[in-house]
Structure 1
Amino acid sequence: MRIYKVGGAVRDRLLGIPVTDIDRVVVGATTEEMLSRGFRPVGADFPVFLHPKTGEEYALARTERKSGRGYGGFTFHASPEVTLEEDLIRRDLTINAMAEDDHQNLTDPYHGQRDLEARILRHVSPAFAEDPLRVLRVARFAARYAELGFTVAPETLDLMRQLSESGELEALTAERSWKEISRALMESQPQVFIEVLRACGALKVLMPEIDALFGVPQPETHHPEIDTGAHTLSVLEQAAKHNQPLTVRWACLLHDLGKGLTPEEEWPRHIAHEFKGLKLIKAVNERFKVPRDCQELALLVGEYHTHGHRALELKPSTLLELLQSFDVYRRPQRFEEFIAACEMDARGRKGLEHRSYPQADYLRGAATAARSVAVQPLLEKGLKGPELGEAIKRERLRALKAYKEAASI
């Protein structure tokens, strides 16, 4: 029995960045031997075991054969005869197909270290094209390591393009796709993830609503970058630079989908794009079974982001309706995330990345003013039911009028 660290642990150590997850492969062992040493089996698809003391994962060396469509369409074979090189060749990228023993002796049959030094993301073997999930994985690695200068090898991009055209991407489950998408959005340069998907034709298959934004112009006075797709990538880039959470990044990605529906004869204006885009946002949310908090914020940002930009001009009654829509009294954090998304949208414009956004503090102040209305005095007057609700609304509107007047002095 020989045990090796493989994949990301080796790659990141060689890059000199912190190692977070350690995967181990066991060569020359049987399931019975692992069990006799106290390892606990997990996973139904192939032999993976948990160390009896540390709880870390150890997988038996295995080969795989394509047996059906999609990410799960593989038959695995694990036995003591499977070599380390045979296990490594089934991996996606050369930089993930290296192994080392406890003394850091490197096994690198597919030149991963050379590609690390050249900053290249390259597939290990033609079998790469058998797994559609690898299109998303490579795009995610491109987003993670873009700041180190990594790019996708042209021949790997060609294979990704073949996969995109083959129909295999449509066999991916919503859960697997969302796992990769959500992880990619939290990388340091998530816009690169979208760029790579677009370059290989996968964006058109997975998220045609976003792909449709490229080539759609916007008024240059508000959008010096003009192209709606380019603007969306810039907004996503700003969200990452400002360490926004996944909910905000997802909303930033989808906020302008309605502009893809504008007839060409109406370009570069996009009247009512906020409302037109809601059905598209819903469709994307449903396609990937997106978590509820991400779904809700994306829809709210899509509908109200222009309200955010015009916050200083809004009538108190419109401002109150906005606050009600977000339920700022019970869910203040969601409104804070809306403000963040609006600010990223404002900054995601060519040459305006460092602009101030006074609307943010104004909206926060409005929410505070509305929340400051005391309900107890109204209860003490004997108000209840719809009558109480109307009284609360009147008091909040009065508070917002006072707030707006004070802010304009």
Structure 2
Amino acid sequence: MWIVYLKELRSLLRDRKTLIFTILIPIIALPLIGFGMTQVMSKLSEKARTEQIKYAIFGAQNAPALAELFARDAGYREVKLGSAGDIRGAIGDDRIKLALNVPAQFAGAIGASQQAAIELHFNSADAGEITRKRVNAVVEQYNATLRDKALSDFKLTAPQLAFVLNPVTIDVRSTADQRERIGALVGGMLPYLLIFVCLMAGMYPAIDIGAGEKEAGTLETLLLAPVSRSQLVMGKFLVLFTVALAASLLMVSSLGLLLRFYSGRLDPALAAVVAAISIGDLGMIALMLVPTAAMFAAILLSMSIYAKSYKEAAGMMQPMMIIAIMPMMVAMIPGVELTWLWSAVPLTNIALAMKEIVKGTMDYPKFLMILFSSTLLAAILLAFCRRWFSREEVLFRD
């Protein structure tokens, strides 16, 4: 078994494609791409919040105080348009970012102490939420002046006005600490990266040591060697297991080092969560990757053994990405928590457990249940692979 293992491993390590998928991508490419995307998104979001917005306003005479607030704000620059009919074209041509239209009845409604509305025109698909929030901030300043006037006109004190506007409020006291709140977001993405890398790292070596040997005609020679089928299967399985596990562990190590190194550039809340993740937490994540890598190794080897050619094996394994992602999507559904039932569901339990570890709320009995159920499933899949390999109609399909 170990002779087969070492022979297959040396063969794979000579292959550049294997080195790329097991070392370059998990250690360098994915962490850098992920960190780079985070930095780019942060800078773009900051730019959208601070850049000067070109706007047009129609009916400014109906709300001169509001128009003055926009004119004085350094974050806005007014652009004159011919008529309100030019708004759509001007936004489409990027001459303006937004347009405000104050109707003629606006001043009358405000004077009669009635609620009034202005029209906001903008492209909601282009950083629309940030644009709307920035406009709301200026409008809220205008509303504050109107509320102050209402205090004097209606002879209401500030507490009385607060009661009229909002009689009952909710004072939120969350029991979740900062690590739990941020960890719930970060921990939801971690399984995607690790399981994706684990699957991808094992996929191409699996094609080589199964369907690739069939296509090259070397499988028959290997079967004639004085090695039992069980030893052959275990040797090939251990190669895939080693490659998949090594890639995912390297991914964890590389990502951890990258986050620690750039912790000063991270959001303070996220940096605090990263600092709170201990060596023990990383060890638990690594332990869960062991049965995950074993499951993928057994499944991929079974597929590769069944395929008649390299091309057929590649086609059969492509849907595995979708199949692997679906259980992780379940873990992202609001309300799905790590219970005893979910701790027995393959891959979903891994995703939920990783999220709990990052949050710092891992239930250790459930963690042991996840390890047991995942290891049991990996053993069943390996037994199936061994039985699959012993069938001549599988090895030598017409």
Q: Please classify the TM superposition score into its range, dividing by the shorter chain length.
A: under 0.3
TM-score (norm 1): 0.22
Compare relative contact order (CA 8 Å, sep 6+) and give the higher one, 1 or 2.
2
TM-score (norm 2): 0.23
Higher helix share: 2
| Largest Rg, 1 or 2 | 2
